Each structure stands twice: as C-alpha cells, then as structure tokens.
A and B are shown apart, each in its own frame.
Chain A
Amino acid sequence: MRRGLARQRLVALFFAAAFLFNYPLLSLFDRSEQVFGLPVLFVYIFGAWASVIALIAWTVGRRKG
C-alpha cells in the first residue's frame, strides 16, 4: 500500500466521523426507543465512536501504509 493511500483513508475517515457525530445524522437517533435496555442515542454515539477508533487503528496500523 502506498503511503498516500493511508493519508487519503485518514482524511476520508475524518469526514466520515464528522458526518456521523453531527446534525442531521445525530438527530435520527434522538428518540426515546431503547436497544439492549439502553437509550438508542448513547448506544449510537459510543458505537460510532468505537468504530471510528477501530478504523483509525486499522488504517495506521498497517506498517507499509
């Protein structure tokens, strides 16, 4: 993998995360329903957050990247 590819992935990831953590996507989850007995808003934020971290780890973790 070329070095430039990892950088592009990180920039894409940044925009994806900014998209996930803001209006209007966030407003979709602002409802009173529950998943696993927890409010869907918290599950969404923490879940999206953890996925972003995992993707960063995957992108930078590839040595050749």
Chain B
Amino acid sequence: MISAPLVIAVSFAYLLVLFAMAYFGDRRAEQGRSIIANSWTYALSMAVYCTAWTYFGSVGRAASDGVWFLPIYLGPTLALALSWLIILKMIRIAKAYRITSIADFIASRYGKSHLLGGLVTIITVIGIIPYIAIQLKAIATGYALLTHDSVDGFRAVHETHWFQDSTLYVALILAVFTILFGARHLDATERHEGMVAAIAFESVVKLVAFLAVGVFVTYGIYNGFGDIFSRIQAHPEYARLLSFEGASTAGYGGWFGMVLLAMFAVIFLPRQFQVTVVENVNEEHLRRAAWLFPLYLLLINIFVLPIAFGGLMHFGVGSVDPDTFVLSLPLSHGMEALALFVFVGGLSAATGMVIVETIAVSTMICNDLVMPWLLRSKRFSRSAHPDLSGLLLVIRRGAILIVVLLGYLYFRLAGEAYALVAIGLMSFAAVAQFAPAMLGGMYWRGGTREGALAGLLAGFGVWVYTLMLPSFAKSGWLDPAFLEHGLFGIELLKPEALFGLQGLDNISHALFWSLAANIGCYVFVSLMRAPSALEASQATLFVDVFKREGATATTLWRGSAEVRDLQQLVARFLGQGKTVRLFREYARQRGYAGINSIPADAGLVHFAETQLAGAIGSASARVMVASVAQEEPLGLDEVMNILDEASQVRAYSHQLEEKSRQLEAATEELRAANEQLKELDRLKDDIMSSVTHELRTPLTAIRALSEMMFEDPEIDLVERKRFLGIIVSETERLTRLVNQVLDLAKIESGHAEWHNTDIDMRELVEHAIDSTRQLFSDCGAELVVSLPEQAPKLLADRDRLHQVLLNLLSNAAKFVPKEGGHVRVELVSDDREVRVEVEDNGPGIAPQFLPYVFEKFRQGGDQRDRPQGTGLGLPISRQIIEHFGGRMWVESPPGRGACFAFALPLNKMRSDSADAEQ
C-alpha cells in the first residue's frame, strides 16, 4: 500500500511536468523554433492511440483471450503501410482547405453541409464519451489499487459521494489542462504545438513504464520468456490461451474483423485525425512515422503475454482483475516505487487520450453543432457583434468542459457495468462508420450529400441496434428480452444475430452489418442523382488534390464582394489584429501595395472563406461569406465546364511545358555545338598561323641565299656550295613539313590509309634502333637497349609504328648532352599491353611545358633554343598510337631528363584492326 497523499503528490507533479512541457512547446512555437517539427515527435504523438484501455486492458484481454489482444495493434501497422496513399492525401486536403476535424472533412466534401457535420459530431460524441469514461475509470481504479490495503478484494471504486471522488477532480484538472493548451487562443489552423509536445512526452513515459513492469515480471519474477511459457504450459486450465482457436470463439472471421476495425480506428478516431492530420507540420514526417509508430506498438506489446501469464499464475483466476495485473504484480512483490511509476504510465495513457480527444471533439461541437445553430438563430444575426473570437473561445472551452464532465458522468453511471468494459471496441466500431464517406469522398467523385447522410445514418443505426442497445441491456438498463428473442419477438431481429447471422463475435457481427448498411446506402443513394454543382466542385477539389493544389477553388466562384466587408467578417471571428496581419500577408504574397489595393476577386473570397473555415468550420464559413458577398450561383453544367476547361488548360500547359523543355534542351545542344565549332575555328586559325610561320622561316632562308647568289655572281665556289647546301636542306625541311601537315590532316580527318600486318614489336624496335644508330654515334651518346626474349605480335601498321619509334629516338638523340649522353630504350609486355619507353638524360622538359609537348607546333622549351624539327612529330605519333587504341605520355622529373613512352593494348588492337580490314 502506498499512502494516498504520496500518490496524489506524484500525480500532480507529473501533471505539472506536462504543463511545463506544453508551455515550453508553445513558447518555442511562438519563437518559430518548433520542438515538434520533427518526425520523431510526430510518430510519438500518434502513439496517443495507446490509451489506458490498452495500457491496462491489453493484459486483461490477453489473460482471458490469449493472442486476441493483438489485432488492435496489427491493424494500425497495416493502415500505416498505406499511409503514404491515404493519410498523405488527408493531410494535403486538410491543409489546402483548412479542415480541422473529421466532421468538417465530411461536411466540406459533400457540399459544405451543416447537416452532415452535425451528424458526424453527434456520432462522435456518442461513440467517444464512454471511451473517455474508461480513461477516468482507469485512473480511479489505479489510484484505489495503489492506496488500498491489499490488491485483491477491492471492488468499490465509486461508492464514495461524488464530491469526495478524486476522479472528479482528475477530470476537472484534465479539462483545465486541455483548455489551457487546446483552446487558449484561436488559431485558424487549429494547431497546438505545446499539446503535441506534451503528448509525445506522455508516449515516452507510458512506453518506458510498461517496458519496466514487463522486464520486472519477465526477468525479476520469472526467468525470461521461455520460463514463463514453459510454466504456463504446466497449467492445463490455461493451455487454451496458447492456441488461436482455443483462446476465443470469434474465429478467423472475427480476427479479420478486428484487424479491419483497428485499421479504420487508427485513421478515423478523432484524436488520431487530430495528431496525424491536423497537427502535422511537414508531410515528410509521415515517412518515419509509417514505421516508427508500428514499431512503438510492437514494443509496447512484447511483454503483454508474459505479464498476463505471470499474473494468472501468481493470482489465479477470479481473485484479481487481470486488467490491473500491471499494478498488482509489482505491488504484491513489494515493488511500490515501480507500481507508482506504472501508475504514472497509466496516467499518461489516460490523460493523453482525454486531452487530444476532447480538443478534437470540442472543435467539432463548436464548428459543426453550435456555430451553425448560432448563425441560423434570428437573434444572433440581428445583434451586431463586433468581435466573435471571444465567443468562439468560450464555446470551445465550454465544449471541452462538457465533454470531460459527460465522460465523468458516464463513469459514475456505468461504473463496473458491462457497458464500460466493452466500450473500447464499440467506439472503434462507431468511428469505423466514417470510413465509407471519408474514403469514398477522397477517391470517388460520385458521392452525394444524401448518399453520405444515408450511409452514416444507416451504419450508425445498425451500430446502435447491434452494439449499444445490447450493451445497455447487459448492464441492466434495458429489458434483456429483446436480446434473446429479438425485437417484437421476431427471431430474425435478434441484435447479436441479425437476420440469423451466427458464428461471429458481437463486434465483428456489428461491424459487418453496419458497414454493409453504410456502404450500401452510401453508394445506392449517391447514384440516385447526379452530384450538384457544389458537390461536384468539392469532389474535384478533394479527389484531385495532388493535381490541382487548390488553384481550381478560385475558378469555381463567381460574384462580387467588397474587401472591407470580407475583412470585417473575418475579424468578427479571428479578432481585428490578427485579421489585419492575415490580409497584409495576403497582399504581400500577391504583390499588392496594401490591404486597400487588393482586388475583391474570387481569390480573396476564397482566402477569407479558408481562414474562416479553420475557425468555424467550412459549412459555417460558406454561410458567413455568402452573407457579405453576392455570389452568382453556378449550375452543374457551368461547374463541369470550368473543371473541364481547367483540366484542358492544364493539359495544354503541360504540353507547352513539355515543348519548351524540349526546345530548351535543343537550344542547349545547339549552343554546345556552336561552342565546339568556334573552338575548332580558333584551333584552325592557330594552326594556319603556326604553319605559315613554320613555312616562312625556311622560305626566308632560301630566298635570302638565292637572292644573294643571283645578285652577286662573284661569290666563290666554296661559299656558293655552302649556300646551295643550306638551300637544299631548308627545302627538304619544307617538304617534310608539308608532308607532315598533310599526314596529320589525313589522320585527324580519318582519311589516312592503314596497312595492318602482324608485327613483332621486338623486331620493330630493333629495326628502328638500327636505323638511328648512326645518329647516336654522331652525338656520342650511349644507347642501352633492354628487350624481352619474346614479345607478343600486334596487328598494326608497321610503317606508322616505325615512324613513331624513329620520332622518339631522334628526339632523344637531339636532346642528349654533348658529353656523356645516355639513352635507354625498353620494351615491356604483359598480357594486356605492350609498352615502349625511350629515356634520355638531356635537360628534360620544364613542368610548365609538360602539358603542351603533344600539341602541334608547341615544341618543349621556349622559342629561342628550339631544336631543329617541325613541331609536328610528337602530335603525329600520339595520333597514330591513339588510333590503335593505345596511349602516349611523357614523364620528366626535373633534372633527370625526359622519358617518352607509349603503350598499345593487345586485344583492343586486334578487334580494331579487324574492323579496319573489313
């Protein structure tokens, strides 16, 4: 037993921490440094799905039905697998049209209908209030268990007078908390950052607490999973819990129904819609949440079976409520601190649910029940309220308080009755009724207002008849006769075996009939008439939200309005200061000078309506805007025309975009080609000037010497012979130059002739050395040759390769020093290539000239000490080598001469030359 003041103090301290979290979150949001703008917080806030009903009830369910507690968590995993299709679309629609609740979503989709919004709200309230009651009951039970003398034997939770009942105070504190962080000020987007921060924090607390008690039971009391499972098998009375068929009578159909139910619940429960869709900061966060939230569910369920079995073996059946095992097991083992922590975890689960659910439900009550009624009443519309934002807040706060108090009232009334125990799944089945209208609305254009109304009414009616009334009967509030004999004694109308359907548990039975009625009515009534203009336009906006991005909304409104009227209207609900800010922002975005210069066009009307929709719901916003703007009603044909036009325009603009993209690409190609041409032109000019320069030098010498001999016949014979010798050698140089230029041009243009034969590289190198031996002995250089025994044969043009070798060798002979010249020639081959290196010990090539030695007329070194040569030998050599698929390069470490080398591939050349021969 733990003393009551301690439990209360700890609970209050925990709630204070929550206040602090939420306050911190709100402050950071105001400073623009959101703490919830990350996918982790987003996924954790989704875990508000795990309420006290699952926190305590999972173990209870596992203790009676074995593995049957799991469908409630497998369903969300399936739903989250589809989140990128369904939830993303809901988020996009909600953001585009400022939708803040499921009621508003359905109302807006089916022509902004007040009636639908109201109906959805009423279904939600009836389905959800008992669910809030279980949360309060869980807190009360946990508190009683902690402060009671012994874990068994306590039963009476609510036998105290209501003003002594701590649960009432818990409810009131929760209401205050919810008001502070859910309805402190009006926000057109209905987002509550502080609340989300607190909810994410609560999710962490409840997970850690549950894992703590799980580890304690599994490893503290027993020796791990294997130990618990082997021990439970020794009890024949629990053996049925280990099998699927034995644990429950619902069968595989029931299992499937439960998974489906949980799938719908995780998308359509008001609190899930609130955290998943309304509070979503960034669509990208959905990516991580899609696996993180299911992982959270997996983790929180790992220890459910061990705790349930541990509790069953410790307490036996009947002495202690299995729902309280998480608390009673640590308590009975004297672990009071752990029990207190687990209680705080349960408190987290319960408060989180109550807070988010009441915020979501209060938004619905305010926007879809109270506002439509207020706007319609004559007294209200006659009185000139300048500012209604205060009134809106009062309505929201009142709704929160009323919802929490209704929950408390239900808890007091129902207490231990069956109606409370079964309510979790009943609530799920109630919200599952939204699925046809929601999913149909997002993917099918044909749904109409009447269709949605009929579907919801039929589904909800069946739900009341097959689930709610039987639960009342089982609680003793109704005569149970109709349960056993059917309504008016007609067997076929037995609520839990409607039309004789048997073999399903009551939840799956109700789910089947209610969804069948719901979908049937929705589809058939929808198909009875074509959608009206408003329905068709809303359907297009919802179904095509990814394609249209809200741009079409403004084209679907025609009429006239005054900026001043619209501004005053928005200010009535959002407050003067905020409205001016919003309109200024609108003007700035559209590029207008100020509020006064905004044209009162469809865009502005749409903007005003969207702002109002966030605060008072889309249906009311439409009514309010219609009161200040003169709309010309559009017929269905006109709407369809506009939509067709819009889609045609979109198709055209798409084609245009495609065309302009192609044009851009073509222009880019042309520009690149032009650049290349210009570059080639420049190169051609360079070569022309180089060639003429190279031609002029020998021509000048020839001309000067010839003129001298022509003008002066007196020159002696020796001199004349010398001159003639120079003329001959210069002419030879000219011929060589012209030949080489022609040669290079041929190779570059691909017109050169290649005579490919099998060549023995060793033999070729030896031949080249023999032809140049005289050169080397002339300049007194030592020639070192290193050739392998065997060299592979190549298929190439022998004369060309010979030319390359001669060029390299004669270059080396030119550059070796007069004294101690040394040239090394080496032939190396491996299985891939043959490499030839010619190294001299001359002055080498300065690093700045290295990149240019293979360019035309760019002999290494500066102009003054250029050796004899045309400056085309190396470029030609490189072209030849590259023609055969090889590469040529030079290395010249400063002060150590130069080493020219080339390598020819063995295989590549064969195929190349084969091509050449064909």
Contacts and interface: CB of A to CB of B under 8 A. Distances in A.
Contacts of A60: 84, 287-288, 290-291
A37 B78 contact: no
Contacts of B84: 6-7, 10, 60
Interface string A15-50: 001100111101101111010111101100110011
B212 interface: no
Given A10-B85, A22-B255, A17 B77 contact: yes
A23 B242 CA distance: 17
A13 B77 CA distance: 11
Given A41-B243, A52-B294, A53-B298, 10 more contacts: A6-B84, A22-B252, A27-B244, A30-B243, A39-B229, A49-B74, A49-B77, A56-B77, A56-B81, A60-B84
A43 to B, nearest CB: 10
Given A13-B81, A53-B294, A57-B291, A32 B243 contact: yes
Instruction: Kindly name the residue among B82, B244, B302 whose own CB sees the greatest number of chain A CB atoms within 10 A.
Output: B244
Interface residues of B, number: 32
B497 interface: no
B226 A37 contact: yes
Q: Which 8 A-B pairs have the closest CB atoms?
A: A37-B226, A23-B252, A57-B291, A30-B244, A14-B81, A56-B291, A60-B287, A53-B294
B889 interface: no
B81 A42 contact: no
A36 B226 contact: yes
Interface in B608-634: none
A2 B259 CA distance: 31
A54 B243 CA distance: 26
A26 B298 contact: no
Interface of A: 6-7, 10-11, 13-14, 17-18, 21-24, 26-27, 29-32, 34, 36-39, 41-42, 45-46, 49-50, 52-54, 56-57, 60-61
Contact of A50 (B252, B287, B298): B298
A38 B226 contact: yes
B515 to A, nearest CB: 17
B85 A7 contact: yes
B244 A17 contact: no
Contacts of A32: 242-243
Nearest to A65: B287
Contacts of B256: 22-23
Contacts of A42: 67, 305
Given A6-B84, A49-B74, A52-B77, A39 B242 contact: yes
29 contacts: A7-B85, A10-B82, A10-B84, A11-B82, A17-B78, A17-B81, A18-B78, A22-B256, A23-B252, A23-B255, A23-B256, A26-B252, A26-B255, A30-B243, A36-B226, A37-B226, A37-B229, A41-B67, A41-B243, A45-B70, A49-B74, A52-B81, A53-B294, A53-B298, A56-B294, A57-B290, A57-B291, A60-B84, A60-B288
Contacts of B749: none
Contacts of B242: 32, 39, 41
B914 interface: no
Contact of B85 (A11, A22, A24, A29): A11
B230 interface: yes
B512 interface: no
Contact of B290 (A21, A30, A41, A56): A56
Contacts of A27: 244, 252
Given A10-B85, A52-B81, A38 B298 contact: no
Interface string B683-720: 00000000000000000000000000000000000000
A53 B291 contact: yes
B67 A45 contact: yes
A45 B417 CA distance: 33
Interface in B215-270: 225-226, 229-230, 242-245, 252-253, 255-256, 259
B80 interface: yes
A53 B244 contact: no
A23 to B, nearest CB: 3
A7 B288 CA distance: 15
A30 B245 contact: yes
B254 to A, nearest CB: 10
B291 A37 contact: no
Interface in B68-107: 70, 74, 77-78, 80-82, 84-85
B666 interface: no
B80 A56 contact: yes
B287 A61 contact: yes
Nearest to B259: A21
A34 to B, nearest CB: 8
Interface in B778-812: none
Contacts of B295: 53, 57
B259 A22 contact: yes
A48 B255 CA distance: 16
Nearest to A30: B244
A29 B290 CA distance: 27
A22 B80 CA distance: 17
